[in-house]
Amino acid sequence: MAEPRTRPDEISRSREVAEAARDREWKGAGFLRDLFLGRLDLGLVDPYPLARSTRPAFLEWLARFERFLREEVDPAAIDEAEAYPPAVLDGLRALGAFGMKVPTEYGGLGFDQVEYGQVMQLLGSHDASVTALLSAHQSIGVPQPLERFGSEELKRRYLPRIARGAISAFALTETVVGSDPARLTTTARRSADGTHYLLNGSKLWCTNGTIAELLVVMARGPEDDQISAFLVEAAWPGVRVTHALHFMGLRAISNAALQFTDVRIPAGNLIGAEGRGLKIALSTLNTGRLALPAAVVGGAKSALELSRTWAAARVQWGQEVGRHQAISLKLARMAAVTFAMEAVSDLAQSLADRPGYDIRLEAAAAKEWNTVQSWRLLDEAMQIRGGRGYEREGSLRARGEVAVGVERWLRDARINLIFEGSSEIMHLFMAREAVDRHLEVAGLLVDPRAPLGRKLAALPRVAAFYARWYPGLWLRGLVAPRHARFGALATHLRFVERASRRLARQVFHGMVAFGAGAERRQGFLFRLVDVADELFAMSATIARAEALRAAGAPEAAAARELADTFCRASRRAVARLFRELWSNDDGAADRTGRAVLEGRHAWLERGGIGLGLTVEALRPRIPPVEAPPITRG
């Protein structure tokens, strides 16, 4: 068996650093947080915030932006060229798009999250590379952390420049550090006189890295675990693009490997306090990751339009392919899921704008759930479109056919499940919050390091909490509201209410059954999170359909049908997840997975050409300092 490379003390150090960076304090209301505790707080999602921004200045800007996309942004050409045309970058600057969320007092457009979400949805329906450019800059690049954590001096210096079009990037990932940023190796050593820091190290996969003027860089003090965030100008001596990086999709993104050699950062360019860098990075991502769920809704709408029209246009075996039941079922699912994805995204964007709301869990759920649904939906669009789905746009165009590239959409969409918090990390993050209240109350009892005396002392408090909370979950069922106002959808809402109480009980049962080992039971925890995601999506979908009815919208009846179709499928998924919580093959599959990892099934790989790989050869290494520079631009 191969020697494990990460020692237990490293694992626990990573956890401790991540835990220290976690926002432990809950800063207001939270729909999903309550759901994990068995409370369906319908007031947080109903009445559903139907109204998108009607601010005249915003609508006028959005119309100009849409015209610009139609006239200047050709997604197939951008994909083919693997670069942004200078006219597109200039046009975005002229529109002020790099200052969308920068407050007006610093020269930006001052959009709120709902408005920004509307822009991202429109953009996501058209071009994923430009979406990545603006989202990496605006959602996680310099403007967000600077506005939230920077000094007034720093804001005055940089935000107007950003609003005028200085592109920025977010540099956290390194070759050896991906999902576990607490172990990053880039260092920032403070000078003896305290006037500046010296930055050394390298960063990987920095979106906008080859064209950015400004970077937010996470680096640690050389002798400690303290990670800080710095605003670094790309033109400063010692900042180098060592490689321009290229991907399966998002072909035009200007992504870079960066190197920092003795970069002198003025002390004033520290963002927030020293040692707060990881917290700044994580909390930037908390809201920053709301751009993706909006963008993939746009993509889903385009895929739905193509699937619907193609399924009606294409005749095989004597009828339109959409009339064959297998395809009709796909169309139903695509439409219902698109309605649900939009309900989730719009709700999450609007909750983020609500004063006193803690958006962490909804942002993670919206990011994870919408990106997974979008990937499945695009796969179905590819299947409905048949061979033409797999054919590149240029090839379709050359044959005189309508050039819509499902293959490009799929290539572009896959990364959404990996960056800005991979699906697995989003599950872990939500699971951590799900058990948080229980850990707060009963953590001592399941902590193997806690002395027996302290455990015994904690017992009465723990017993008092659960003696009230647990029966309360059952009792609430006796007086659960009927939700008659929701008509035919009320039955689904009652299901959500019952399931939320069951969810809370299962979280508790898991804590009792697995104790301190619960965090290693990812199969169990991830199913709980999947249940919560489905319940959130159902709630948003039902509330949205009801709001359309209440508003007398012409599409109200159609929306109800889609909400019903979605909820039926979602209920089946939830029932299966609950069933499989305690009746599954996780133990056996985990044993097999470990056997595969240890090479005991490597025999199975014989008979192919073989890649000649070794674990040692694949292990990433910190790049050498003397890599040749590449000219920026």
Ligand X SMILES: Cc1cc2nc3c(=O)[nH]c(=O)nc-3n(C[C@H](O)[C@H](O)[C@H](O)COP(=O)(O)OP(=O)(O)OC[C@H]3O[C@@H](n4cnc5c(N)ncnc54)[C@H](O)[C@@H]3O)c2cc1C
Catalytic residue numbers, as ranges: 420
**Closest distance to ligand X from the beta carbon of 415 (Å):** 5
What residues pair up with 110 in beta bridges, in sequence order?
none
Measuring CA to CA, which residue among 217, 156, 220, 154 is closest to residue 185?
220
Selected binder of ligand X within 165, 178, 221, 238 (CB under 6 A): 178
Collapsed DSSP state (helix, strand, coil) of residue 569:
helix
**Closest distance to ligand X from the beta carbon of 134 (Å):** 13
- Taking the least distance from each CB to ligand X, the nearer of 248 and 457 is 248
- Tell me the two tokens of residue 173: 């990932």
Q: How far apart are CA 173 and CA 157, in angstroms?
A: 26
- Tell me the two tokens of residue 104: 């007006």
- Note whether 206 binds ligand X by CB under 6 A: yes
**Closest distance to ligand X from the beta carbon of 173 (Å):** 3
- Taking the least distance from each CB to ligand X, the nearer of 272 and 288 is 288
Burial class of residue 556, CB neighbours in 10 A (0-12, 13-18, 19+): middle
Query: Using alpha carbons only, what angle is made at residue 121 by residues 115 and 122, rounded to the nearest 5 degrees?
Result: 95
- Note whether 336 binds ligand X by CB under 6 A: no
**Closest distance to ligand X from the beta carbon of 196 (Å):** 24
Say if residues 369 and 294 touch (Cβ distance below 8 Å).
Answer: no
Selected binder of ligand X within 12, 179, 191, 584 (CB under 6 A): 179
**Closest distance to ligand X from the beta carbon of 245 (Å):** 8
- Taking the least distance from each CB to ligand X, the nearer of 85 and 523 is 523
Q: How far apart are CA 560 and CA 541, in angstroms?
A: 9
C-alpha 543: how far from chain center: 23
Selected binder of ligand X within 170, 230, 429, 495 (CB under 6 A): 170
- For residues 133, 139, 143, 145, the Cα torsion angle rounded to the nearest 10 degrees is -140
Stretch that binds ligand X, among 199-207, 497-505, 569-577, 595-603 (CB under 6 A): 199-207
Residue nearest to ligand X (CB): 178
Q: How many residues bind ligand X (CB under 6 A)?
A: 21
Stretch that binds ligand X, among 164-172, 193-201, 387-395, 454-462 (CB under 6 A): 164-172
Selected binder of ligand X within 121, 138, 255, 500 (CB under 6 A): 255
User: Kind and range of the H or E element at 102?
Assistant: none
For 146, residues 6+ apart whose C-beta sits below 8 A from its C-beta are: 154, 155, 158, 159, 162, 216, 231, 271
For residue 174, what is the DSSP state?
A: B
**Closest distance to ligand X from the beta carbon of 206 (Å):** 5
Q: How far apart are CA 302 and CA 65, in angstroms?
A: 18
- Note whether 377 binds ligand X by CB under 6 A: no
- Note whether 242 binds ligand X by CB under 6 A: no
**Closest distance to ligand X from the beta carbon of 231 (Å):** 15
Residues 407-436 that bind ligand X (CB under 6 A): 415, 418-419, 422, 424-425, 428
Q: How far apart are CA 373 and CA 160, in angstroms?
A: 38
- Note whether 186 binds ligand X by CB under 6 A: no
- Note whether 172 binds ligand X by CB under 6 A: yes
Q: How far apart are CA 328 and CA 334, in angstroms?
A: 10
Residue numbers at the binding site for ligand X (CB under 6 A)? 136, 169-173, 178-179, 205-207, 247, 250, 255, 415, 418-419, 422, 424-425, 428
